Amino acid sequence: MKFNTKLIHAGISEDQSTGAVSMPIYRASTYHQKKVGGNPDWEYSRSGNPTRAAVEKLIADLEQGVAGFAFASGSAAIHTVFSLFSAGDHVIVGNDVYGGTFRLINQVLKRFGLTFTTVDMQDLSQVEAAIKDNTVAVYFETPTNPLLKIADINAVASLAKQHGLKTIVDNTFATPYNQNPLVLGADIVVHSATKYLGGHSDLVAGLAVTNDEKLAEQIGFLQNSIGSVLGPDDSWLLQRGIKTLGARMRVHHENAAAIVDVLKNDAHVAKVYYPGDPDFAGYEVAKKQMNHFGAMISFELQSGLDPKQFVEQLQIIDLAESLGGIESLIEIPAVMTHGAIPRDIRLASGIKDELIRLSVGIEDQEDLVEDIQQSLAKL
């Protein structure tokens, strides 16, 4: 079954009891059991819900894993996965991660005794040098948020396996349409499904997938124990969003390529970060491990130009946090999505005050190009 067909027919694509081609929303919190100790399929909706199970099976199929798990947010998914580890364990983390992940690590998880070392995941020597006797896992995004850095998933996972470490990859920016980390050697994939998978800026959700039966059992236990599960209404919305992922991504990609061309050829722009640009540092690795390059673009204006002025005078592209929706969204990471990161750490990671991040939507390409051009011309 080809991927675009999988989006619609994989997982649990219809209700087994009625044949409905749209999985119903099962809002029940508890279920009638025929006898005591009968091991029923459904007993309590924190432990399992038919609507949530449908989207969990779908993402497992799309990521080619053995089990998927749906959570109330991407942060909840990441927190649950990190809960696999214990006080005293050490995790190597990419130095260019989402600000919320940075906050979770530094203000929550460290209080429970986990330790972390941040490295540039593009440099395998840095990864290897950070491994300690108590290291248990490597966690990173690729492409990263917001600098679009590309880590070689297979190379990192191979190194991790040599040292008995788990590899966890945040696949939010790429989506399974563009990249399958489990196939490339990762042990766990996480998503902020709020973004491209939901695709319509109308839900908040997180997903985790593994191709390891033992890890699946452990994550399932933690999902039930911690309880930050995705509700049935949002599970239904998420599955509906995933079904159109292929159709949406094709337009996202076309629009992004056109905008990159405009930005690279405009004198107001100093630097463009995009994995599909042959001049981009991560291009060759991206070309090797990704089917397409995605629709996230970051760029810097020339020195002296005001990024706030640029984003505020756009007429079609929305100034807003988040990404991956059908509408184009733009933001300034230093004061928005990555504002939780101290400035010195942020600058050391390359996230400058002037950096602008653009999530390219599926509006008419000509309208988007004209909107960017008119705002640049006013600077």
At 235 the pLDDT is 98
Interatomic CA distance for residues 178 and 286, integer angstroms: 10
Interatomic CA distance for residues 315 and 107, integer angstroms: 37
Which of 209, 243, 277 is a domain's end point?
A: 243
250 shares its domain with 235: no
Q: CB–CB of 66/216 below 8 Å?
A: yes
Which of 223, 243, 263 is a domain's end point?
A: 243
Which position among 96, 170, 187, 234 bears the catalytic label?
170
Q: Catalytic residue at 15?
A: no
- pLDDT over 90 at 288, yes or no: yes
142 shares its domain with 93: yes
103 shares its domain with 222: yes
Structure-token pair, residue 223: 């999902």
**148-170 average pLDDT score:** 98
Cβ neighbours of residue 290 closer than 8 Å, sequence gap 6 or more: 174, 178, 179, 275
237 shares its domain with 329: no
Q: Which of 56, 1, 297 is nearest to 191 (CA)?
A: 56
- Can you give the CATH number for the domain in which 93 is found? 3.40.640.10
Which position among 46, 103, 250, 352 bears the catalytic label?
46
252 shares its domain with 151: no
- pLDDT over 90 at 350, yes or no: no
At 39 the pLDDT is 83
175 shares its domain with 318: no
- pLDDT over 90 at 30, yes or no: yes
- pLDDT over 80 at 337, yes or no: no
Which of 211, 227, 243 is a domain's end point?
A: 243
108 shares its domain with 233: yes
279 shares its domain with 234: no
DSSP state of 120: -
186 shares its domain with 224: yes
Interatomic CA distance for residues 200 and 323, integer angstroms: 10
Which position among 6, 166, 195, 248 bears the catalytic label?
195
Q: Catalytic residue at 274?
A: no
Q: CB–CB of 181/158 below 8 Å?
A: no
Round the CA-based radius of gyration of the chain to a whole number and report it. 21
> Which element (helix H / strand E) includes 129?
helix 124-130
> Which element (helix H / strand E) includes 301?
strand 296-301
Q: CB–CB of 132/140 below 8 Å?
A: no
Q: What is the mean pLDDT of the chain?
A: 96
55 shares its domain with 199: yes
Q: Catalytic residue at 306?
A: no
> Which element (helix H / strand E) includes 138?
strand 135-141
List pLDDT tens digits, range 176-192: 999 999 999 999 999 99
- Can you give the CATH number for the domain in which 325 is found? 3.90.1150.10
List pLDDT tens digits, range 228-283: 999 999 999 999 999 999 999 999 999 999 999 999 999 999 999 999 999 999 99
| pTM over cut 0.75 | yes
- pLDDT over 90 at 37, yes or no: no
What share of the chain in percent tops pLDDT 70? 100
**108-126 average pLDDT score:** 97
Q: Catalytic residue at 46?
A: yes
120 shares its domain with 194: yes
Q: Which domain holds residue 253?
A: 246-377
At 16 the pLDDT is 84
Structure-token pair, residue 329: 């969204």
Number of domains the chain is built from: 2
216 shares its domain with 251: no
Lowest pLDDT segment from 35-44, 59-68, 208-217: 35-44
Q: CB–CB of 195/324 below 8 Å?
A: yes
Which position among 26, 98, 196, 273 bears the catalytic label?
98
